[in-house]
Structure 1
Amino acid sequence: MIYRTLGNTGEKVSAIGVGGWHLGLPRVSEADSIRIVRAAIDRGITFMDNCWDYNEGASEVRMGKALRDGYRDKVFLMTKIDGRSRAEAARQLDQSLQRLQVETIDLVQHHEVLRFEDPHRIFDEEGAHQALLDARQAGKIRYLGFTGHKDPQIHLHMLRVAAAAGFRFDAVQMPLNVMDAHFRSFEQLVLPELVREGIGVLGMKSMANGILLKSGTVDPVECLHYALHLPTSVVITGIDSMEILDQACQAADSFRPFEPVELESLLSRTVEAARTGYYEPFKTTSLFDGTAANPQWLGDEPERLRQFFTR
């Protein structure tokens, strides 16, 4: 397994991370999900991804069970919350702690920063950021980050709003794959800024749940190698079987940085398929936007702003 440093935190983490969403899918039994997590840890994977809303909490519950019996001490545990208000973020975080059966989560991230208004809600005086600062002060979390998959300009806006509030995130999660390189690119716009600021880079959607593979231009190991080639701290990948775990470990074991001619060949192969964003529907549709389908997860708008709508 490859290990890298998570930005300026000094934390050493595995370059491959276990994606939490797949662990709670109906087609994956609880016993199998626990077996996958523990086998991954035994094979050197230390970064565990999850989220408060994954599979109505089943993903966190299963990971919490998998991390019993001494496994918790072997991993860097991350989860995400959807709440935008201070109260809702605090509620979701406490629920995540209970499901994961831990007193401290290593990294908690504001999930699905998809709209230009999200950063302002998060950093409002009644916003979710204050809840995470409170939790960090109380020892419930160690590091803070945010995620999103829609548009690199929204990520840059989140970084600007945070800077205006005097805050720098420890990690940022975003799509990084061979198609993103050509279309509405996080790699081109956001990645250099994160590297410059020493913020940990969490790559996701290296295969977009297999959608990129349907283009017929790349195979799974090539997708993982491309994301590993970038200055990522961790490449988070969905693992729903022991076979897919083998594939991820094989990709780590066989990884070598691309030679320029190899990189050029891979990118030229994918440029036409990537041109319209068809194989990255998380950017071009709302199908991947959980909070769009469940706006109640966000919590109430700030009380001081609701006065504008009183009649």
Structure 2
Amino acid sequence: MLYRELGSTGERVSAIGLGGWHIALKNVDEELGIRIVRTAIDRGITFMDNSWDYNGGVSETRMGKALQGGYRDKVFLMTKIDGRSKQEATKQIDESLKRLQVDCIDLVQHHEILRFEDPHRVFDEEGSNAAFIEARQAGKLRYIGFTGHKDPQIHLHMLQVAAENGFKFDTAQMPLNVMDAHYRSFAKLVVPELVKQNIGILGMKTMANGILLRSNTVTPIECLHYALNLPTSVVIAGIDSMEILDQAFEAVQTFQPMDEQQEQLLLAKTAEAASRGEYEPFKTSSIFDSTAQNPDWLGKEPERIQQLMSA
């Protein structure tokens, strides 16, 4: 396993992270989910990804069980929170702590920053970042980040609003794959800014749950090699079988940094298929937007906005 620095945190984490969503899919029973997590840790993966909303909380519950018996101390544990209001975010953080069976989560991220209004809700006086800061002060979490999969301009807006509020994120998570480079590219627009600010870069949707592979342009190993070649701290991989876990380790063991010419040759394979975002439906549809389908997870709009509307 390769290990990399996580931005300016001083933490060293595995270059491959274990995706939490997959360990509670319908085809993965609890025994297999726990086995995947523990085998990944035994073989050197330290970064654990999860979210409050994954599979109705089952993903966090399974990971919490898997981390018993001494495994918790071997990992860097991350989860994500959907709440935009301070009240809702506080509740979700406490629920995640209970499911994961821990007193402190290493990294908690604002989940699905998909809309241009999301940063303003997060940084409102009664927004979720106030809950995150209070939780950090109380020792419930250590680092704060954000995620999104829709548009790189929204990520840049989140960084701008954070800076206007005197806040710097520890991490940012986004789709980084061989298709992204050709369409509304996070790699081209957001990654350079994160490098500049020394914010930990978390790549996801490296194969878009297998959708990218249906283009018949690249192999799974090529997908992982491309994401590892970017200045990522962690490439989060969805793993729902022991075979897919082996594949992730094969990608690390065979990875050699690519020069610009090698990278361009790889990206040329996907240029035509990627040109309209067809294989990145998380950018071009709402199918992946769990908070759009469950707006109540976000919590109430800020009180001052409601007062403006009723004045």
| Per-residue CA distance 1:123-167 (angstroms, 9 max, x = gap) | 000000000000000000000000000000000000000000000
What is the deviation of 1:261? Answer: 3.2
The residue number in structure 2 matching 1:185 is 185
The residue number in structure 1 matching 2:64 is 64
The residue number in structure 2 matching 1:116 is 116
The residue number in structure 1 matching 2:205 is 205
What is the deviation of 1:310? Answer: 2.6
What is the deviation of 1:294? Answer: 0.2
Q: State the one-letter code of the partner of 1:91.
A: K
Is it true that 1:281 corresponds to 2:281 in the alignment? Answer: yes
The residue number in structure 1 matching 2:266 is 266
The residue number in structure 2 matching 1:296 is 296
| Per-residue CA distance 1:163-196 (angstroms, 9 max, x = gap) | 0000000000000001001100000000000000
Structure 2 regions of 5+ residues with no counterpart?
none
Q: State the one-letter code of the partner of 1:167.
A: F
| Per-residue CA distance 1:87-140 (angstroms, 9 max, x = gap) | 000000000000000000000000000000000000000000000000000000
| Per-residue CA distance 1:271-299 (angstroms, 9 max, x = gap) | 00000000000000000000000000000
304 and 259 in structure 1: CA distance in 2 versus 1, 3 angstrom threshold:
closer
- Percent identity of paired positions between Structure 1 and Structure 2: 70
CA RMSD of aligned residues (A): 0.7
The residue number in structure 1 matching 2:97 is 97
Q: Distance in 1 between matches of 2:96 and 2:217?
A: 39
Is it true that 1:145 corresponds to 2:158 in the alignment? Answer: no
**SS of the residue 2:180 aligns to:** coil
Q: Distance in 2 between matches of 1:288 and 1:167?
A: 28
The residue number in structure 1 matching 2:30 is 30
Aligned residues: 311
| Per-residue CA distance 1:17-70 (angstroms, 9 max, x = gap) | 000000111210000000000000000000000000000000000000000000
Q: Distance in 1 between matches of 2:199 and 2:98?
A: 28
Q: State the one-letter code of the partner of 2:11.
A: E
Q: Distance in 2 between matches of 1:201 and 1:86?
A: 25
After the TM superposition, which segments of 4 or more aligned residues of structure 1 sit over 2 Å from their partners?
259-262, 308-311
**SS of the residue 1:265 aligns to:** helix
Q: Distance in 1 between matches of 2:260 and 2:165?
A: 40
**SS of the residue 1:203 aligns to:** strand
The residue number in structure 2 matching 1:4 is 4
**SS of the residue 1:144 aligns to:** strand
The residue number in structure 1 matching 2:54 is 54
What is the deviation of 1:7? Answer: 0.3
**SS of the residue 2:80 aligns to:** strand
The residue number in structure 1 matching 2:80 is 80
Q: Distance in 2 between matches of 1:115 and 1:24?
A: 28
**SS of the residue 1:62 aligns to:** helix
**SS of the residue 2:149 aligns to:** coil
Q: State the one-letter code of the partner of 1:127.
A: G
Q: State the one-letter code of the partner of 1:242.
A: M
**SS of the residue 2:210 aligns to:** coil
TM-score (norm 2): 0.99
Q: State the one-letter code of the partner of 1:202.
A: L
What is the deviation of 1:308? Answer: 2.8
Q: Distance in 1 between matches of 2:80 and 2:99?
A: 13
Q: Distance in 2 between matches of 1:247 and 1:213?
A: 14
Q: Distance in 1 between matches of 2:58 and 2:26?
A: 10
Q: Distance in 2 between matches of 1:305 and 1:279?
A: 38
The residue number in structure 1 matching 2:41 is 41
Q: State the one-letter code of the partner of 2:224.
A: L
Q: State the one-letter code of the partner of 1:173.
A: Q
The residue number in structure 1 matching 2:254 is 254
